[in-house]
Amino acid sequence: MNPRVLSLILLLPTPVFAHETWLQPEKFVAAPDESVQVTLRISDGKSVRDANLKPDRILRVELVKEDRHMPLPLQSGDATVTAVPVPPGPSVVVMETEPKHVDLAADKFAAYLREQGLTQILAERKRRGETRLTAREDYMRCMKTLLTTDAQKPPADRAQGCPYELVLRRQVSRTLTFDTLRHGDPEPFQQVRFWNLDTGKVFKIARSDKNGHLTLPLPPGRWLATSTAMRRSSELQSDWRSDWASVTWQHGAKK
């Protein structure tokens, strides 16, 4: 499908947060130095719940304010939660996971590639004669949430050094520009889903351009953007390496 056509699709019937993981703060706009809980959330496409990652799966979780990186402690319990003392102005909470291995049956892997818009991997599997083979994959996640103490200013984001990530580069009124980046460099033609956190459904699906840029209008509210990049793996036990990126934020009048 033409990416320009795809970017205009409105998918209201899409299941709730199909196969996504993200960071969700109890509020996106806080008072200066207020402590805000940020929780890891996960969905299987049918329901949403708090998630828990074992400590050895978490590479880092930190608060980033300009050039300062402040590690955050995780609270013990049934979910991965961290308390964030929100500094004045905009800041970013980032959580990055270690790679994890999974084997997927050929049909499930193909369905997953179609869902994530990874058509180039489908084509490469066909070229290699692997369409009927079990797929061996390593995957990791880079999850961010954008916090602020000033509801009148747009959230601020920047690259955080993840293998793959989404960066909210600029906002002018209701028009937002994102970058799809691999180790800080443009990763072109990546599918990005924009979820409304209040409805739990996809609002738009779009693709970044040849420079890794994507610009679109979004109404005020609480939002989640997700994207998956994949490449051939150099690890002996794996055929593919996927990197899952997400970012949550709020803009406009939503309180």
The model's pLDDT over 85-118, given as tens digits with 9 standing for 90+, comes to: 999 999 999 999 999 999 999 999 999 999 999 9
Q: Which two tokens stand for residue 247?
A: 């970012």
What domain range is 48 assigned to? 3-99+139-251
3-state secondary structure 93-111: EEEEECCEEEEECHHHHHH
Decide if 131 is inside a domain: no
**Lowest mean pLDDT across 10-24, 48-62, 93-107, 179-193:** 10-24
Decide if 122 is inside a domain: no
- Decide if pLDDT at 244 tops 70: yes
**Separation CA 141–CA 143 (nearest Å):** 6
The pLDDT, as a whole number, for residue 200 is: 87
Convert the pLDDT of each residue in 189-238 to its tens digit.
999 999 999 988 899 999 999 999 999 999 999 999 999 999 999 888 99
The pLDDT, as a whole number, for residue 16 is: 59
Decide if 134 is inside a domain: no
The pLDDT, as a whole number, for residue 122 is: 97
pLDDT range class, residue 18, cuts 50, 70, 90? low
- Decide if pLDDT at 254 tops 60: no
Q: Which class for 159: exposed (0-12), middle (13-18), buried (19 or more C-beta within 10 A)?
A: middle
Cβ neighbors of 70 (< 8 A, separation 6 or more) are 62, 63, 64
The pLDDT, as a whole number, for residue 249 is: 97
Higher-pLDDT residue of 154 and 131 is 131
Q: Which class for 224: exposed (0-12), middle (13-18), buried (19 or more C-beta within 10 A)?
A: buried
Decide if 166 is inside a domain: yes
Decide if 108 is inside a domain: no
- Structural domain total, the chain: 1
Residue range 139-158: average pLDDT? Answer: 94
Per-position b or e across 65-94, b if 16+ CB within 10 A of its CB: beeeeeebebeeeebbbbebebbeebbbbb
Decide if 68 is inside a domain: yes
Half-sphere exposure of 45 (CA within 13 A, CB side): 7
Decide if 115 is inside a domain: no
Token pair 């049909």 in the structure block, residue: 107
Q: Taking all residues of the chain, what is their mean pLDDT, rounded to a whole number? A: 90
Q: Are 121 and 113 in contact (CB under 8 A)?
A: yes
